[in-house]
Structure 1
C-alpha cells in the first residue's frame, strides 16, 4: 500500500469483494493493513441478480466481513437487465453502484482486486482491438474519479501468490461460472495465457511490455498536464480559453493529447474525439483557414489576440428530473443536489438554458449584461425549470423570485473526465 500513501488520518477505505479468490485475498490483506495503519475498512459486494445463487454469495461475503469484525454493504442491481452481452452493462452497473455507495459513506478510496494476469488479459484484448499506445499500457494502478480514487494494489502480483495467501489463511472462496465461460473473449485469453510454459512466457512478455508502455504513458501524460496548465484556463461554468500561440509548435502527440482532453472535458463526452477529427481541426487552426464551427461536440470561437474560446455545443443537452433528496449528474459536466427538507416538494427539471432563454434573459435582466461570462456560452449552461418556467441559472447567479430558498438546489462542476486527469501509474511488481 506504500505507493498509495499518504492517506488522511483514520481514513475510510472500501474494498470491492465478489467472493472469488482474488477479491477475498485482497480483503484479507487489506484488513490486516488497515488495522495496522489505523484506518477503517468497509466491505462492498454487488449482487447483479443475473443468476441463481448470487444473493447467497453476497450474503456469504457479508458473513466473512463480520468474521473479520468489518462493516459491509450489499449493493443490488435493480431494474431491467440485458439478456445478451451482459458483461459490459454489468461492469458499468457495478462501478456506478460502488461509486454511489462510496459517496453515501464518505469513502474516498476504493480498492479493486485486479492482478497481474488480469493486466495481461487486458493487454491481449487491446492488442486484438487495435488499441493505440496509451491503451496498450494496460490498467493504471491508480485512477481518480470526480469523488473517488480507485486503487489496484495487486496489479503487479501474480495470481499464484494470491492463491498461496488464501491457502495460508485456510480461506475458501466461490467461483463465478462466467469466469470459465469461453464465449467471452477475456476468458479465451485467460485459457491461452494460463496454459503451459508458452502461455506463462506470453504472460511475462505482455506484462513486461505493459510496464515499458506504462512508464512512457506516465511521462507523456505528465507533459500533457503541464502544457494544459500553461495554455488553458478552464472556468467552473464549463468553458475554456486557450492560448493558441503557445500550441503552434508542439509535436502532434502532445497537441492531440491536449485537445482530446480539452474537448472531452468541455463537451462532457464519455470518449475522446477521433484522431481524424483532431487532425482536421489542427489543419484549420495552423493554416488559418476558416475555423470549423464545431469540433468533438464543442463550439470554437476566435476571440483575437491568439485566444480561442471553447464551449459546449448547445444541442443534445439532457432533461433531468430532480426531486427532493436526489443527486443527479447532468450532461457529464455538473452535479445537481437537492435537499430533502426543501420547502417546495414539486419536481423540477434541469436542462440547457438554450438560445431563446439566453437571449430573453439578456434583454430582460439588465444586471446580467454586466456578466463577465461570454454571452455565447450561456446557451449551454444548465438551468432549472418548473411547470411555470425558468427558476434559476446557477452559473449566472440568476434566480427568479420563486426560488428564494424554497427549492434547495445546488450545482457544482463534476465532469466525467477532468482536464488534467490523474497521471497513469504503472503497477508495482509483486513477482
Structure 2
C-alpha cells in the first residue's frame, strides 16, 4: 500500500523525468526516501534527494550528513542546501518554511527536476487543523493542505498525507533504517508540539489524527467548490486593467454572494501584492465598512477605491517605493519590462515622477495606479514609464494574468 502511494504520487499530466525528494532526516522523510528508492529500482525512474540545513539547531548538520550517507549507500544523488536567514525578524518558522520552498524550488529547476515529493503525514494535517482552529481560521484555513500543488515553478506532491506517523516508524523499523529525532519535537515552547500533545488528550473522545484528517478533507471539498464558483464569477465580473483589477459591483453584479465577493477581493489583493496569505477576516470587514463611506482603503499592500460601478484594486505606492531590480528581472513579482536593456539601468516605481510624464492622463489610469507602476531609471533620471506613456521604446507586461493566478492558487 505504501509503495502504491508513491507510485501514484504524480498525476499523468505531471510525470517528472526525475523525481525530487525533500528529506530532513526525520522519520517521515526517511520513510518517503526509502519508498521512492524502492519505487525507482522497480520502475527504472531516477530520483534525487535534497536536504535544507536551516542552521537553527546544532544537530542540523549531522542530520544532513546522515541523509547524505544513506543516499551514498543507495546510489541516490543528494545535495544539502544551506540557509543563513535564521536571524531574520518576524515569524521564524514561517521564514524557514518559505526559505525551504524557495531553495528546493531553485535546486529542482537547476537540475531539471519537475516534481518534488514532501513527507507530510496525516498527523501533520491534524496538527495543522488544531493550530489553525486556535487562530480562529475559517474554511480555507481548516481545509486539508493540498495534496498536489505548484509553487516556485515546481510541481509538489504529498503522497503520504493519509498515512500516520506511527505506521511510517513501523516501516522504518522493519527495514532497519535509522532516522534522526528532532529534539525540538519535545519542546513545549512550540505550538506544533502542544498540538501534538492535545491530539493525545483528545483520543479518549474518539478524536484522533484520522478523524480530524477526514473532517479537514471534507472542508477541502467545500473550499474547492467555492473556488470553482469564484473563478466563474471572475470571468464575468473582474476586468484586468494594466496591473489593476476592477471588480464590477453595479447592475446584476450587485447580487454577488458575499463569500464569493470576499474571495474575489482577497485573490485580487494577493495577485497585486504577491502576499502568501489572504488578509484576516476582521480586516476584510473593516475594509468593507471603510469603502462604504470613505470609498478608499489600504490593505495588504494594496489600495482599494470604490465608485458606483466597481472596486478597483491597485498596488499601493508605499509598498513598492523601495523595490528595485535590473531591467532584465521581474519587478515586484509580476512586471516584466521589454526594451533596450543596459547594465546601468534599473526598474523602480514611477512615484511622483508621474508629473514628468506629460501624457499620463491620456492613459486612463488613475494617478495612484501610475505612482506604483514600473519605470526605468538611470542614476536618478527617469528613462521610461511604459504605463504612463513615457518613451515608447519600453513596454511593460504582467507575467501571470489574474485568470491564470486563480487556476494555480
TM-score normalized with structure 1 length: 0.78
Runs of at least 4 residues off by over 6 Å? 372-375, 415-418
Structure 2 residue aligned with 1:381: 373
Looking at structure 2, the residues matched to 67 and 417 of structure 1 have their Cα atoms a distance apart, in angstroms, of: 47
Structure 1, residues 299-321: CA drift from partner, whole Å, max 9, x if none?
3254x7x4554322322314345
1:230 aligns to 2:236 (yes or no): yes
Of 311, 319, 340 in structure 2, the residue corresponding to residue 316 of structure 1 is 319
Structure 2 residue aligned with 1:359: 355
Give the paired residue count. Answer: 400
Offset at 1:175?
A: 1.3
SS at match of 2:313: strand
Structure 1, residues 204-239: CA drift from partner, whole Å, max 9, x if none?
33223212212211211222122122321335x421
Structure 1, residues 347-375: CA drift from partner, whole Å, max 9, x if none?
x5432111x32232234xxxx88757677
Q: For residues 93 and 149 of structure 1, do their structure 2 counterparts lie closer, same or farther at Cα, with a shift above 3 Å needed?
A: same
Q: For residues 415 and 226 of structure 1, do their structure 2 counterparts lie closer, same or farther at Cα, with a shift above 3 Å needed?
A: closer
Question: Contact conserved, 1:193 with 1:202, CA < 8 A, in 2?
Answer: yes
Q: For residues 199 and 351 of structure 1, do their structure 2 counterparts lie closer, same or farther at Cα, with a shift above 3 Å needed?
A: farther
Q: For residues 416 and 246 of structure 1, do their structure 2 counterparts lie closer, same or farther at Cα, with a shift above 3 Å needed?
A: closer
Q: For residues 273 and 80 of structure 1, do their structure 2 counterparts lie closer, same or farther at Cα, with a shift above 3 Å needed?
A: closer
Residues 111-126 of structure 1: pairs in structure 2 closer than 5 A: 111-126=117-132
Structure 1 residue aligned with 2:382: 390
1:127 aligns to 2:123 (yes or no): no
SS at match of 1:315: helix
Structure 2 residue aligned with 1:299: 304
Structure 2 residue aligned with 1:429: none
Q: Which has the higher helix share?
A: 2
Looking at structure 1, the residues matched to 333 and 384 of structure 2 have their Cα atoms a distance apart, in angstroms, of: 20
Question: Contact conserved, 2:321 with 2:372, CA < 8 A, in 1?
Answer: no
Q: For residues 192 and 100 of structure 1, do their structure 2 counterparts lie closer, same or farther at Cα, with a shift above 3 Å needed?
A: same
Of 46, 53, 59 in structure 2, the residue corresponding to residue 53 of structure 1 is 59
Q: For residues 415 and 38 of structure 1, do their structure 2 counterparts lie closer, same or farther at Cα, with a shift above 3 Å needed?
A: farther
Q: For residues 269 and 159 of structure 1, do their structure 2 counterparts lie closer, same or farther at Cα, with a shift above 3 Å needed?
A: closer
Structure 1 residue aligned with 2:195: 189
1:100 aligns to 2:106 (yes or no): yes
Instruction: Give ranges in structure 2 of 5+ residues lacking alignment.
Output: 1-5
C-alpha RMSD over aligned residues? 3.8
Residues 190-209 of structure 1: pairs in structure 2 closer than 5 A: 190-194=196-200, 198=204, 201-209=207-215
Looking at structure 2, the residues matched to 262 and 157 of structure 1 have their Cα atoms a distance apart, in angstroms, of: 35
Q: For residues 319 and 376 of structure 1, do their structure 2 counterparts lie closer, same or farther at Cα, with a shift above 3 Å needed?
A: closer
Instruction: Give ranges in structure 1 of 5+ residues lacking alignment.
Output: 404-408, 424-431
